[in-house]
Amino acid sequence: MKKILILIVTTFALSACKTDIEIAAPSSGNADFSRYVALGSSFTAGVTDGALFTSGQANSFPVILSASFADAGGGTFKQPTVNSTIGINLDGNSKLKLFYETLCTGGKDFFTRYEASTGDASIFTDNVSSLGPFNNLGVPGTKSFHFNDQFYGNTTLGNPFYARFAKIPGTSTLLSEAVSVNPTFFTLLIGQEDIYDYALGGGSETNFDSITTISYFNSNVDVIVNTLVTTGAKGAIANIPDPADIPYFTTIPYDGLVLTAAQATQLNAFFALDPNINFQEGRNPYLLRDTTAVSGVRMLKETEYVLLSASYDSICNGYGSFDFVNNVVKGFRDRHVLDEAELNFIRGRINSFNDKLRQIAIANNLAYVDLYGLFRQLNSGIIVSGVKFTNKYITGRTYSSDGFTPTAQGYAIITNFFINAINATYNSTLRSVEVLKYPALNMP
Amino acid sequence: MKKIASATLLFLLIATSKLSGGGFETNTKTVSVTGMAGAQVAVPQSSSSAVYNPAAIGFLPKKMMFSAGISGLISKTSYFETGTENYHSAHPSRFLPSVSATFQINERIGAGLAYYSSFGYHHRWEDNWPGRFVTIESKLGIKTIQPSVSFTFAEMFAVSASALIHNGNYDHRKALATGNNEGEASLNGKGSGMGFMLGSFLKYNESLSAGLTIKWNGNLNLKNSTLAYSRIPSSWQDLYPVVDAFDITIRLPYCVTAGASITFNEDLITTAELSYSGWKRLDSLYFSSPVADGGPVYLRLNNSLSGRLGVQYAFVEEFIMKGGVTYEVSPYNSDHVIPSYPDANKVSFALGAEFKPKPQFSVDVAAGLENVFERKGVDADNYFYGSYNSTRYFFGAGINYHF
């Protein structure tokens, strides 16, 4: 009996010892993260809420990624920091502030206003080039042909976001800045501005701007990637998402024009000579200015997008429909809409660009980050530690108030996509970042 | 015999890795049996038979027996984020009273009445821990009143029937991702349920006895539950309307337990038993109406087995030592580890002692620990990854009186 008791007591004591859970150490695998440079545009720079400002930049995806790199041999990661709470964008505007107020329709919804009357222009005059070289070479507005453009850093003709930190303004390029770091690893987000500068402007209203040609894009990508890999660097290249998966294009429904029976009758009488326009009580497509249409406007199609730039303020003032008081048609301007032709043009380029990006990633054994797939997945949602992220405007938690750039948590999700692709390509064991510790939106 | 007992104990320690059971069924239902790790279905010894196998009431040593006690549970559950060294812990504690009484009405018929905690758990994490959007605090407590009647057919065999009258509450609290100002959701429900238990007891001879119980716990129906939200920004309040007066159904597991005991002499009793628990009934918590960020909550449980071994030895008539071990493999699916109850295979060890200052009166004390082994996994519904392990300390004190 005593032996039994001794056995029980001994086992009792042994079992009280705490089990230590072993944590796998992060490793770089076949990659070397000691000198990491990030090349890209708005996403890489850390633009959020429509502008570049201090706290947004502090949570850019390369910063978040570099923190994971740091556990696997990564070195310091330096950004051309801006010192501003309201920030600025290329249009000179400040960051946006979110509101939730009653609309003309009677319901409440989210909309934005600029946080200040103008952006903080001191950012552009605050030259920080002496603090370089920088690891984050993300510059808002950068298209594929800007990376190797020496005039892009020109203080008067170039991009002011780059000019403020260019090593030799008017001479050095973003690509030469990257090479000067002697990078061991790079991330490249290229082509987004080529596509979305066009798409965010509603397409080709003025034909002033269009999307980079496929051949020009391909040659730019070849130069950039070949230059970087020639240094011996490994890296990750991300592809380009579709506008269907970005709330800037999908938040305002094409058929948000709600009419009473009397209003529908009045409009049908007004457009009696146009056989393509027919209103009914309830939801109706908005109207778009179209010089080829009989009445100068046409009804939007289900496949077309009203952009977030056609704010509810405008819609409440009759835009997209009809001014019943003054009996005036107020169709949306083309810059507030992506029509079918423009979307087909955009998607054709996205497909071509993404093909190129995938091919060059494979050819150079680089990680290929499927942002297109990630953003598509956000339609159904991605659940992170009990929180569902979708591409729904504001309540989807992924995108910032501008409807295009992510929140810090959205950037963290993107970072984890990079980490997954890098680990899969280079047999590294980078740790995923904790998405929910990063800032979310400031909700009204 | 001692070698057999030692070997049996080792067998349970090692071979029961293929057994499973447990879940959040309370193992410390009465103090006098806690010291034997709850192995009592085949041991007619105290009024605890009113809980574990009322068919044994007719074989108890005294006509009227009464016990009362209280058990305490102190838990520490550790969570480690996947891929990091970040560590978080939960430290809830619970106190569980129990009362049991048995009465042999005549040679054939006996009656029992017991009140105890049948199921429960409590996990309370830090408000800012990474899993706060899944759970901050989750608590289930079910108290059961069990009236029983037993019928002894012959000197060696008896059967019993019991009603299980459950009363319980379920509370769950978690954070809501409503921007930088996080909100909170709080689900509260109270309710009752009914089940039954059938028992049989065989006293083969003075040394060997066996017991078999079938317990159908039924459902716990939480009526008029409420889901309330707090700290929700005004712009999100339409998404989170308060929902009240809905029902939650918790399907409790059934359980079949078979055990045997060997009395070597007047001083030494050993017992072993196996339980098969139908935890699969509780595959989810069902909500009667849809609620934002509410149910159903999928648990994906499996049916399971558990094994227990108990031993007691009377050094002198006034002092009895007890010991026991339990091994349970979690009914929780290995690919679905939920932080509100991060269950895993577990082993528990118990020690107890009974002092008899007077022939009719005795005092029981018991203590032990339950080691919930490390489990690494994901909450498959919430994509919350991590590793958990838990240690629970239990202790109790009670009194026994017989007439």
Segment B62-73, tens digit of pLDDT: 999 999 999 998
Distance CA B84, CA A138 (A): 29
CA atoms within 13 A on the CB side of A241: 21
* B369: contact with A, CB 8 A cutoff: yes
List, in sequence order, every residue forming a beta bridge with A184; answer none if it has no partner: none
Please name each of the domains of chain B with its CATH number: 2-167+193-215+253-285+303-328+342-402 (2.40.160.60)
Percent of chain B at pLDDT > 90 equals 50
Distance CA A83, CA A85 (A): 7
Chain B residue whose CA is closest to A1: B2
Q: What's the confidence (pLDDT) of residue B288?
A: 60
Mean pLDDT of A145-159: 94
* Cβ–Cβ below 8 Å for A431 and B83: yes
Q: B41: which 2 tokens?
A: 């279905």
* A432: contact with B, CB 8 A cutoff: yes
Rounded to 10 degrees, what is the CA torsion of A370, A376, A381, A384? 10
Query: Which range among A49-63, A82-96, A263-277 shows the weakest confidence by mean pLDDT?
Result: A263-277
Q: For chain B, what is the total number of helices (H) and then of strands (E)?
A: 3, 19
* B264: contact with A, CB 8 A cutoff: no
Percent of chain A at pLDDT > 70 equals 93
Chain B residue whose CA is closest to A436: B130
User: Does pLDDT of A8 surpass 50?
Assistant: no
User: Does pLDDT of A377 surpass 80?
Assistant: yes
B37 backbone φψ class: left, alpha, beta (φ>0; ψ -120 to 50): left
Q: What ipTM did this prediction achieve? A: 0.83
User: Which of B207, B248, B260 is closest to B40 using CA atoms?
Assistant: B260
User: Does pLDDT of A423 surpass 60?
Assistant: yes
Distance CA B295, CA A380 (A): 19
Q: What's the confidence (pLDDT) of residue B295?
A: 52
Q: What's the confidence (pLDDT) of residue A135?
A: 98
Position B270: which residue type? T
* B82: contact with A, CB 8 A cutoff: yes
Q: What's the confidence (pLDDT) of residue A313?
A: 66
Judging contacts by C-beta atoms under 8 Å, the chain B residues touching residue A432 are 82-83
Q: What's the confidence (pLDDT) of residue B193?
A: 96
**Mean pLDDT of chain A, nearest integer:** 91
* Cβ–Cβ below 8 Å for B233 and A443: yes
Residue A369 or A6, more confident: A369
Q: What's the confidence (pLDDT) of residue B157?
A: 96
Give the other-Cβ count within 10 Å of A103's Cβ: 14
* B387: contact with A, CB 8 A cutoff: yes
Give SS3 for B193: strand
> Which residue is it, tokens 């000579």?
A273
Segment A275-327, tens digit of pLDDT: 899 999 999 999 999 988 888 999 999 999 999 988 776 777 778 887 777 87
Query: Which range among A73-87, A275-289, B380-394 shows the weakest confidence by mean pLDDT?
Result: B380-394
* Cβ–Cβ below 8 Å for B368 and A12: yes
Query: Which range among A33-42, A159-168, A352-361, B372-381 shows the weakest confidence by mean pLDDT?
Result: B372-381
- Please report, in angstroms and rounded to a whole number, the separation of the first and last CA atoms in chain A: 71
* A381: contact with B, CB 8 A cutoff: no
Segment B168-198, tens digit of pLDDT: 999 989 899 999 989 998 889 999 999 999 9
Is there a contact between B183 and B239 (Cβ–Cβ < 8 Å)? no
Mean pLDDT of B68-80: 90
Residue B54's pLDDT band, with cuts at 50, 70 and 90, is: very high
Picking from A1, A12, A385, the nearest residue to B133 by CB comes out as A385
List, in sequence order, every residue forming a beta bridge with B319; answer none if it has no partner: B316, B355
Query: Which range among A139-148, B4-13, B23-32, B142-151 shows the weakest confidence by mean pLDDT?
Result: B4-13
User: Does pLDDT of B2 surpass 80?
Assistant: no
Judging contacts by C-beta atoms under 8 Å, the chain B residues touching residue A395 are 236, 239
Segment A378-414, tens digit of pLDDT: 999 999 998 999 999 999 999 999 999 999 999 999 9
The CA angle A398-A303-A205, to the nearest 5 degrees, is 90
Please name each of the domains of chain A with its CATH number: 36-250+339-437 (3.40.50.1110), 257-299+305-337 (no CATH)
Segment A222-234, tens digit of pLDDT: 999 999 999 999 9
Q: What's the confidence (pLDDT) of residue B25?
A: 77
Q: For chain A, what is the total number of helices (H) and then of strands (E)?
A: 15, 17
Segment A158-173, tens digit of pLDDT: 999 999 999 999 899 9
Q: What's the confidence (pLDDT) of residue B266?
A: 78
User: Does pLDDT of A6 surpass 60?
Assistant: no
φ, ψ of residue A336 in degrees (nearest 5): -100, 5
Q: What's the confidence (pLDDT) of residue B283?
A: 74
Mean pLDDT of A145-169: 94
Q: What's the confidence (pLDDT) of residue B289?
A: 54
* B391: contact with A, CB 8 A cutoff: yes
User: Does pLDDT of B3 surpass 50?
Assistant: no
Distance CA A144, CA A298 (A): 35
Percent of chain A at pLDDT > 90 equals 75
User: Does pLDDT of A264 surpass 80?
Assistant: yes
